Chain A
């Protein structure tokens, strides 16, 4: 119990919701910060952080398409000491209905939030709030209540529902540790390795221009040219090259229409990164010490809008000399069940083999040959800035014949 309380006090759970205020054609945002007693001890700081968060337009953070972002878990890497184990993990969950968008961000020292379970709970929470919204909207139209009452009611219910959500995580534990109980075992459809460069020591102007300065270009003093204050922002990754791994018959297996081009596959990875705008208000919580940490995804869940199928991305990373990091990932998908694909049950084994054998970028293909994916095709590394040039995975192999040319 004491441990649980400690965990609760060291975990910050933030809810952000946004809903339209029809008459004014704007969105109303509500913020709820719960837990984290040890992290925010001061009410004024809390209020200030709430104001920072309120500026976020959460509707634009994750673009909606046919594939919906649902949940993710991120690990932190210390740029100055890559091997250092960082306890805190960050979870992002998102759900949107016709009227409502809800985002839940949890930062805490535990790794076992059951993402599937939490997605279900977040969906039910959003649905409940939609009901409150619908009822109050009706009462507003009949002039029984005013806008402000609607906001108060939604906030009050959000408080209550988020308390229940937190209770399920910390007291009951029902949203943790359980194995992910999907009815369908997803199949691995592809894998990739990305070479990324760490960019650190950047300053951002908090004033009007919001400009970001790299280390060498930072102006003298602590002010930006526009007069705004400069703050150190968390380091970032510059993704440089990528290689894909896929079964030769991919086109036949997934059908012409579903074949992912290199750029579309890369989009999954892009969508898996934590949005910078989201991270930035959190790095202002100085106790979290985010300013020297890179946020790397470890698990991301997407949902296919039309069929509710789940597309999972599972990541691992390996540090390199200097400021370089290799990130490898696997895409699993519940839409396909072809025997030429490999079941996600092998994922752990494959990941372990990669951790053990991957030394640098050049060892990638060799490493894949030592796993269950040995018969799959491995593409040469493609420069990410030219990725649009390759309409299909097959096209990337031409690079080999033309030598190292990526142009």
Chain B
């Protein structure tokens, strides 16, 4: 490896100078009108095709603005600003752009050109900054810094300055924009990159992501919300997926290397679960440990964020286990998911046997006290049986999907954790 090692201080986003942003806007704005006219003149077939496709999606625009918007779509595609940009995505995005700038009800043609100029510049800018930030994330991970610190580093030194820069692209056109819209565009580019690494099936449009952001985050303005909003809209939903994408990138290269070696070496036993599943599992165990000790030592209650963390981690592990075994998500044979879930469950019981107490029969209690590990090993079947029926009850019509199982697991674990019997016993420490 002849990789250049960067200092941590370099792993931040340095925003463009405001003077450059102003000239970029002026430049785009002054050219856009003639570019649009030229496009209308030279590409009538393309425009007609797209107009047919998006007939209803951009029905809210006046005929004049429709032509302008469609030409902009053409320009984005032909000038390679975005390589693959679905027309429907574009329609969503333009509609959200008008909402986010409060221009849906009234917008002069001049303003519309200005908005489109800002929009094109923003796409370019956020695409670039997301690439830089993802690279910074990769490099930060290599430094072995604690996850919490990486998250904050990403927010404070990367996404926040990039978001300020993005906002400037609108400010120089004298538009006030909903910060959640800009953040949603970041989310879109993150999703694109996750789509490329096959972590998610397909990215959603920035417009759709904006709608999601609005439902998640209630405030739209002010620099003071940057940290909290980025955390809510970008870090919490995507960081573990990005981690996963990067881990699988590392793994692919390891697999290739292994294949090379395998040609000369006899086949080994099938490897145990990949590192990222293991890592996830460790996280789940850590959450249990934290909550157990917190409840024991300080009597703290478990809150909603605990549930969310457990749920999302379990769902992810179930998905990965499926990918690991069958090479795909969304298995038709759902009983595999249940099998995976029990793998997880017994890992938890192995670590914290007291959590199985409410499930076993009271007569067996002393046996359990003598040697919980052996006891669990012996009564695995009975525990599985009992848990299966509880899980079935909880999932009901949903069947065994990673989601439904994760929810069931969390709710059962919550009941186990809050059970006084569990709390009355501590092993070892």
Closest residue of chain A to B9 (Cβ to Cβ) is A174
18 additional A-B pairs beyond A128-B228, A163-B152, beta carbons within 8 Å, are: A127-B227, A130-B224, A131-B219, A131-B227, A131-B229, A134-B219, A134-B222, A135-B219, A149-B304, A156-B305, A157-B227, A157-B231, A161-B227, A164-B152, A164-B156, A167-B146, A171-B145, A174-B9
Q: B228 to A172, Cβ gap below 8 A?
A: no
B25 smallest CB distance to A (angstroms): 27
The reply on A124 being an interface residue by CB < 8 A is yes
The reply on B105 being an interface residue by CB < 8 A is no
Closest residue of chain A to B225 (Cβ to Cβ) is A131
27 A-B pairs in the complex with CB atoms less than 8 angstroms apart: A97-B224, A127-B223, A127-B224, A127-B227, A128-B224, A128-B228, A131-B222, A131-B228, A132-B228, A134-B219, A134-B225, A135-B218, A138-B218, A138-B219, A149-B303, A152-B303, A157-B227, A157-B228, A160-B148, A160-B151, A160-B152, A164-B152, A164-B156, A167-B146, A171-B149, A172-B9, A174-B9
With a cutoff of 8 Å between Cβ atoms, the chain A residues found around residue B226 in the complex are 128, 131
Chain A 114-158 near chain B by CB (<8 Å), digits 1 or 0:
000000000010011011101100110010000001001000110
The reply on A256 being an interface residue by CB < 8 A is no
The reply on A43 being an interface residue by CB < 8 A is yes
B139 smallest CB distance to A (angstroms): 14
Q: A161 to B152, Cβ gap below 8 A?
A: yes
Q: B219 to A164, Cβ gap below 8 A?
A: no
> How many inter-chain residue pairs (CB < 8 Å) link A and B?
65
B193 smallest CB distance to A (angstroms): 25
With a cutoff of 8 Å between Cβ atoms, the chain B residues found around residue A167 in the complex are 145-146, 149
With a cutoff of 8 Å between Cβ atoms, the chain B residues found around residue A139 in the complex are 218
Interface residues of B in 292-307 (CB under 8 A from A): 297, 303-305
User: In the bound complex, how far is the Cα of B229 from the Cα of A164, in angstroms?
Assistant: 18
With a cutoff of 8 Å between Cβ atoms, the chain A residues found around residue B225 in the complex are 131, 134-135
Q: A43 to B297, Cβ gap below 8 A?
A: yes
Chain B 208-224 near chain A by CB (<8 Å), digits 1 or 0:
00000000011100111
With a cutoff of 8 Å between Cβ atoms, the chain B residues found around residue A164 in the complex are 148-149, 152-153, 156
A267 smallest CB distance to B (angstroms): 31
The reply on B8 being an interface residue by CB < 8 A is yes
With a cutoff of 8 Å between Cβ atoms, the chain A residues found around residue B305 in the complex are 156
Closest residue of chain B to A138 (Cβ to Cβ) is B218
How many residues of B sit at the interface, in one of the four size bands? 20 to 34
A379 smallest CB distance to B (angstroms): 46
User: In the bound complex, how far is the Cα of B306 from the Cα of A152, in angstroms?
Assistant: 12
With a cutoff of 8 Å between Cβ atoms, the chain B residues found around residue A128 in the complex are 156, 224, 226-228
User: In the bound complex, how far is the Cα of B222 from the Cα of A97, in angstroms?
Assistant: 14
User: In the bound complex, how far is the Cα of B305 from the Cα of A132, in angstroms?
Assistant: 15
With a cutoff of 8 Å between Cβ atoms, the chain B residues found around residue A131 in the complex are 219, 222, 224-229
With a cutoff of 8 Å between Cβ atoms, the chain B residues found around residue A171 in the complex are 145, 149
User: In the bound complex, how far is the Cα of B218 from the Cα of A160, in angstroms?
Assistant: 22
User: In the bound complex, how far is the Cα of B224 from the Cα of A163, in angstroms?
Assistant: 19
A48 smallest CB distance to B (angstroms): 13
A205 smallest CB distance to B (angstroms): 31
Q: B9 to A135, Cβ gap below 8 A?
A: no
Q: Which of A124, A149, A167 has the most CB of B within 10 A?
A: A167
Q: B218 to A142, Cβ gap below 8 A?
A: yes
User: In the bound complex, how far is the Cα of B163 from the Cα of A125, in angstroms?
Assistant: 17
B221 smallest CB distance to A (angstroms): 10
Closest residue of chain B to A166 (Cβ to Cβ) is B149
With a cutoff of 8 Å between Cβ atoms, the chain B residues found around residue A172 in the complex are 8-9
Neighbour of B228 across the interface among A124, A135, A142, A163, CB < 8 A? A135
Q: B224 to A134, Cβ gap below 8 A?
A: yes
User: In the bound complex, how far is the Cα of B148 from the Cα of A85, in angstroms?
Assistant: 37
Taking Cβ atoms with an 8 Å cutoff, the residues of B that contact A are 8-9, 145-146, 148-149, 151-153, 156, 217-219, 222-229, 231, 297, 303-305
B8 smallest CB distance to A (angstroms): 6
Closest residue of chain B to A98 (Cβ to Cβ) is B224
A60 smallest CB distance to B (angstroms): 24
Interface residues of A in 140-196 (CB under 8 A from B): 142, 149, 152, 156-157, 160-161, 163-164, 167, 171-172, 174
B136 smallest CB distance to A (angstroms): 14
With a cutoff of 8 Å between Cβ atoms, the chain A residues found around residue B153 in the complex are 164
Instruction: State the 3 A-B residue pairs at the shortest beta-carbon distance, nearest first.
Output: A128-B227, A164-B152, A131-B228
Q: Which of A132, A139, A157, A164 has the most CB of B within 10 A?
A: A164
User: In the bound complex, how far is the Cα of B217 from the Cα of A248, in angstroms?
Assistant: 59
With a cutoff of 8 Å between Cβ atoms, the chain B residues found around residue A163 in the complex are 146, 148-149, 152
B142 smallest CB distance to A (angstroms): 15
User: In the bound complex, how far is the Cα of B228 from the Cα of A336, in angstroms?
Assistant: 39
With a cutoff of 8 Å between Cβ atoms, the chain A residues found around residue B228 in the complex are 128, 131-132, 135, 157
Q: Using A164-B149, A164-B153 as known contacts, say yes or no to A135 and B227 having CB atoms under 8 A apart.
A: no
User: In the bound complex, how far is the Cα of B226 from the Cα of A5, in angstroms?
Assistant: 32
B324 smallest CB distance to A (angstroms): 31
B164 smallest CB distance to A (angstroms): 12
With a cutoff of 8 Å between Cβ atoms, the chain A residues found around residue B146 in the complex are 163, 167
A270 smallest CB distance to B (angstroms): 32
A117 smallest CB distance to B (angstroms): 12
A130 smallest CB distance to B (angstroms): 4
User: In the bound complex, how far is the Cα of B305 from the Cα of A149, in angstroms?
Assistant: 10
User: In the bound complex, how far is the Cα of B218 from the Cα of A142, in angstroms?
Assistant: 10
With a cutoff of 8 Å between Cβ atoms, the chain B residues found around residue A161 in the complex are 152, 227
B151 smallest CB distance to A (angstroms): 7
With a cutoff of 8 Å between Cβ atoms, the chain B residues found around residue A142 in the complex are 218
User: In the bound complex, how far is the Cα of B222 from the Cα of A161, in angstroms?
Assistant: 19
Interface residues of A in 199-213 (CB under 8 A from B): none
User: In the bound complex, how far is the Cα of B224 from the Cα of A174, in angstroms?
Assistant: 23
User: In the bound complex, how far is the Cα of B223 from the Cα of A246, in angstroms?
Assistant: 42
User: In the bound complex, how far is the Cα of B185 from the Cα of A365, in angstroms?
Assistant: 66
With a cutoff of 8 Å between Cβ atoms, the chain A residues found around residue B304 in the complex are 149
User: In the bound complex, how far is the Cα of B217 from the Cα of A142, in angstroms?
Assistant: 13
A15 smallest CB distance to B (angstroms): 14
Closest residue of chain A to B226 (Cβ to Cβ) is A131
A137 smallest CB distance to B (angstroms): 9
A56 smallest CB distance to B (angstroms): 22
With a cutoff of 8 Å between Cβ atoms, the chain B residues found around residue A134 in the complex are 219, 222, 224-225
Closest residue of chain A to B153 (Cβ to Cβ) is A164
With a cutoff of 8 Å between Cβ atoms, the chain A residues found around residue B218 in the complex are 135, 138-139, 142
A51 smallest CB distance to B (angstroms): 13
A165 smallest CB distance to B (angstroms): 9
B381 smallest CB distance to A (angstroms): 40
With a cutoff of 8 Å between Cβ atoms, the chain B residues found around residue A160 in the complex are 148, 151-152
Closest residue of chain B to A157 (Cβ to Cβ) is B228
User: In the bound complex, how far is the Cα of B85 from the Cα of A206, in angstroms?
Assistant: 70
Closest residue of chain B to A165 (Cβ to Cβ) is B152
With a cutoff of 8 Å between Cβ atoms, the chain A residues found around residue B149 in the complex are 163-164, 167, 171
User: In the bound complex, how far is the Cα of B235 from the Cα of A164, in angstroms?
Assistant: 16
User: In the bound complex, how far is the Cα of B219 from the Cα of A356, in angstroms?
Assistant: 59
B32 smallest CB distance to A (angstroms): 35
User: In the bound complex, how far is the Cα of B218 from the Cα of A162, in angstroms?
Assistant: 25
Closest residue of chain B to A130 (Cβ to Cβ) is B224
User: In the bound complex, how far is the Cα of B223 from the Cα of A161, in angstroms?
Assistant: 17
Closest residue of chain A to B229 (Cβ to Cβ) is A131
Interface residues of A in 269-315 (CB under 8 A from B): none
With a cutoff of 8 Å between Cβ atoms, the chain A residues found around residue B223 in the complex are 127
Q: B222 to A124, Cβ gap below 8 A?
A: no
B31 smallest CB distance to A (angstroms): 37
With a cutoff of 8 Å between Cβ atoms, the chain A residues found around residue B219 in the complex are 131, 134-135, 138
